[in-house]
Chain A
């Protein structure tokens, strides 16, 4: 079964393309002389479905990389970014930024604590000054260093 695992990507694309074709059809194709808003999406979705169908059969399995523990770490990294966004909306910039940098520096860069902590705190503050103060970006109000009131 794992021999065919690489066909998953084209299969997903094919399903996506077919769904988009259906969605575009629902929007109304119109006439060629008076194209509806669905016509163009229908054409490109068909192209996508067609190429995906072709790929189901001709794609080169060598193009696909193995899944390993490293990939899991990356998924963890993505999850940490999602947590960052949620916290950012609640707590403002500084604290989530410190936490995120700390996590990445420890887990992905494998820096020792004596480097990771100052880098994370310093980095978060520098970016805070750069974006919030110098570029006047209104980050959500934080519990630490509240927004500058814009």
Chain B
């Protein structure tokens, strides 16, 4: 099927009234939680997973995707007005966006961010449309060795790129893989690690694990850190940017679109890294870099464009290879698995309405976001009056009722509670739940393909290296590990050399890069950056 036919079919799916409603709901919820500090896209998607059982698979993905890229818009609003990033990818926007707001230019800052996000998102959707089918064709040739390689690469890159502390993340990824083995072994039928509990025969339910770690764990962590709600004083007027603003930021938007697109495709990429990279690039390219941090509009336009573009292009590896590029996508992957659909190269041919329907919905969703954001910014700002304690109480109740509704079984509520405790403890001890959940989702795929490869090759590990595709991927992985070990050792000798572009800007404001999908750092306060985070965190 050609791309044009596909897109046609996709729009037929996406324009279905139910799906239109869910695109709208998705981007609206996304914007709202992007505005609310204390509830990030991962937590929200985790909380809404049970809802996806009630609707068609394509509708579910349309909703969840809308939440993801919608949150990228919403996070901007609080970054600009309050210097509080509503979610992690908007941290860089606080540098210049808040300064613009102080100069009375909050309107244009938000306007250019909305326009840039729209352009970035649209460019990325077009790229997705063009790039995904050939990639999926290539992937059809993959054997189980390639899947082992790709899945392992995905997990490895997410643990290395998206997080602060690779060894801790790797440890969590291993824990996730281990938890995935609980229950009946698909191949031999023996039960593993169930301790005779019948409820464990099917293993832990993915939804319950995700809701516990991301939903409950994150809510608890944020309740612990809660601060008082802030009143907005800034008056908003002239949201539409002037012609000069457009001229100044057009280059940044163009570069941000392309950069965001490519970073999003990489495993471990996503909104946070792409917005940092874009900010660093714009600053480097500027004739007068000293304007940055003092209200340069390019510093808002570039990163905002890039984070939206990357949140769209991150769907490419998921829809074509079946590899989620980051934690948010891992949740969407899990939602599809729950519906009995395994995303992968066959998706385009076997479930074209899902593949193309989701893509078409993104075109529509980006249009809706533009239409929502420009006139309604003032309304969204009022959401900040909602106190986070109230939000937490209701979110917890929704979690509990929601997880019960999945299997109508209160055992899952205990699983959520257990993983909520684990998630909260992990946050407090600097372990990240992201790699754990990603590995948990991919665990059974990795194991099945590993065992199949072993059977096929008669127990020869060399089978992974001698096949050209998987060999290349494993070589790449070895490279990643070697580079990170070397740079890790060097960093131990002379600490504090930031590794990621833009990290120095972050460090300068006393914040650190949060992993993808978390709500923003709420303690960013002008006068009091916490002492210990003034030192850049290790990062490879």
The interface of chain A, by Cβ under 8 A from chain B, is 6, 9-10, 13, 16-17, 20, 23-24, 27, 31-41, 44-45, 47-48, 51-52, 54-55, 58-60, 62-65, 70-71, 73-74, 77-78, 81-82, 84-85, 88-89, 93, 97, 100-101, 104-105, 108-111, 119, 123-124, 127, 131, 135, 137-140
Residue B181 lies at the interface, judged by CB distance under 8 Å to chain A: yes
- List B contacts of A33 (CB < 8 A): 454-455, 457-459
3 closest A-B pairs (Cβ-Cβ)? A109-B389, A63-B430, A33-B459
Neighbouring B residues of A39 by C-beta, 8 Å: 451
Segment 178-220 of B: residues with Cβ below 8 Å from A: 178, 181, 185, 187-188, 190, 192-193, 216, 220
Q: How distant is the Cα of A58 from the Cα of B168 in the complex, in angstroms?
A: 10
The total number of A-B Cβ pairs within 8 Å is: 176
Nearest Cβ distance between residue B441 and chain A, in whole angstroms? 14
16 extra interface residue pairs, beta carbon distance < 8 Å, beyond A41-B178, A139-B404: A16-B175, A31-B459, A33-B459, A40-B450, A51-B174, A58-B167, A60-B165, A71-B428, A74-B224, A81-B216, A85-B400, A88-B410, A104-B393, A123-B393, A137-B404, A137-B405
Q: Could you tell me the distance in whole angstroms from the C-beta of A101 to the nearest C-beta in chain B?
A: 5
**With an 8 A cutoff between CB atoms, is B80 at the interface?**
no
Q: Which of B174, B447, B450 has the most CB of A within 10 A?
A: B174
With A33-B455, A62-B532 already in contact, the answer to whether A88 and B400 are too (CB < 8 A) is yes
B163–chain A nearest beta-carbon distance, Å: 11
Across the two chains, which residue of chain B brings its CB closest to A109?
B389
Contact (Cβ within 8 A) B167 A47: no
Chain B residue at smallest Cβ distance from A45:
B178
Contact residues in B for A81 (Cβ distance below 8 Å): 216, 396, 400, 417, 420
A74 and B424 contact, Cβ closer than 8 Å, known pairs A47-B170, A51-B167: yes
User: Is B428 within 8 A of A64, CB to CB?
Assistant: yes
B397–A82 touching, CB < 8 Å: no
Find out whether the CB atom of A110 lies under 8 angstroms from the CB atom of B220: no
Complex: A55 Cα to B170 Cα, angstroms: 11
Inter-subunit contact A127/B178 (CB<8 Å)? no
**Distance in angstroms between the alpha carbons of A137 and B226 in the assembled complex:** 33
Residues of B within 8 A of A (CB): 54, 164-165, 167-168, 170-171, 174-175, 177-178, 181, 185, 187-188, 190, 192-193, 216, 220, 223-224, 226, 387-390, 392-394, 396-398, 400-402, 404-405, 408, 410, 413-414, 417, 420-421, 424-425, 428-431, 447, 450-451, 454-455, 457-461, 532, 538
Distance in angstroms between the alpha carbons of A52 and B431 in the assembled complex: 12
The answer on a CB contact under 8 Å between B447 and A105 is no
- Decide: B454 and A101 in contact? CB cutoff 8 A: no
CB distance from A17 to the nearest CB of B (A): 8
Contact between A40 and B447, CB atoms less than 8 A apart: yes
Contacting residue for B387 out of A88, A109, A124, CB 8 A: A109
Cβ A101 vs Cβ B397 within 8 A: yes
Inter-chain contacts of B455 with A (CB < 8 A): 33-35
Query: What's the least CB distance linking A22 to chain B, in Å?
Result: 11
- When the two chains form their complex, are residues B224 and A70 in contact, meaning their CB atoms are under 8 A apart? yes
B392 touches A108 (CB 8 A): yes
Chain A residue with minimal CB distance to B402? A131
Measured CB to CB, the nearest residue on chain A to B430 is A63
Q: Which of A52, A71, A73, A104 contacts B392 (CB 8 A)?
A: A104
The answer on a CB contact under 8 Å between A41 and B193 is: yes
User: Min CB distance, B193 to chain A, in Å?
Assistant: 6
A55 to chain B, nearest CB (A): 6
CA distance A82 to B165 in the complex (A): 32
9 contacting pairs across A/B (C-beta < 8 A): A33-B455, A35-B451, A40-B450, A55-B171, A70-B224, A73-B224, A78-B420, A88-B413, A101-B393
**B388 — which chain A residues lie within 8 A by C-beta?**
109
* Complex alpha-carbon distance, A89 and B410, angstroms: 7
Q: How far is the CA of A48 from the CA of B440 in the complex (A)?
A: 14
Bound-state Cα–Cα, A130 to B428, Å: 34
> Which residue of A9, A17, A108 contacts B431 across the interface (Cβ within 8 Å)?
A9
Task: Please give, as numbers and ranges, the residues of chain B lying within 8 Å of A137 by CB-CB distance.
Answer: 401, 404-405, 408
In angstroms, Cα B189 to Cα A37, docked, is: 9
Q: Could you tell me if A51 and B54 are in contact, using CB atoms closer than 8 angstroms?
A: no
Provide the residues of chain B in CB contact with A37, threshold 8 Å.
185, 187-188, 190, 192
**Which B residues touch A52, using CB under 8 A?**
171
A31–B192 CA distance with the chains assembled, in angstroms: 18
Beta-carbon contact of A127 and B397 below 8 Å: yes
Q: Say whether B192 contacts A41, CB under 8 Å.
A: yes
In the assembly, what is the distance between CA of A64 and CA of B402, in Å? 32
Which residues from B are CB-within-8-Å of A34?
454-455, 459
- Shortest beta-carbon distance, B531 to chain A, in Å? 11
A109 touching B393, Cβ below 8 Å: yes
CB neighbours (8 Å) of A59 from chain B are: 165, 167-168
Question: Which residue in B187, B389, B454 is a CB contact (below 8 Å) of A111?
Answer: B389
User: Smallest Cβ distance from A3 to chain B, in angstroms?
Assistant: 16
Q: Find out whether the CB atom of A65 lies under 8 angstroms from the CB atom of B174.
A: no
A76→B326 CA distance, assembly (Å) = 33
Q: Is the CB of B428 within 8 A of A65?
A: yes
Are B170 and A51 closer than 8 Å at their CB atoms? yes
Is A85 touching B410 in the complex (CB atoms < 8 A)? yes
Cα distance A111–B216 when bound, in Å? Answer: 21
Q: Which residue of B lies closest to A97 (CB)?
A: B397
Of chain B, the residue at the smallest CB distance from A65 is B428
Give CA–CA (A32, B455) in the complex, Å. Answer: 8
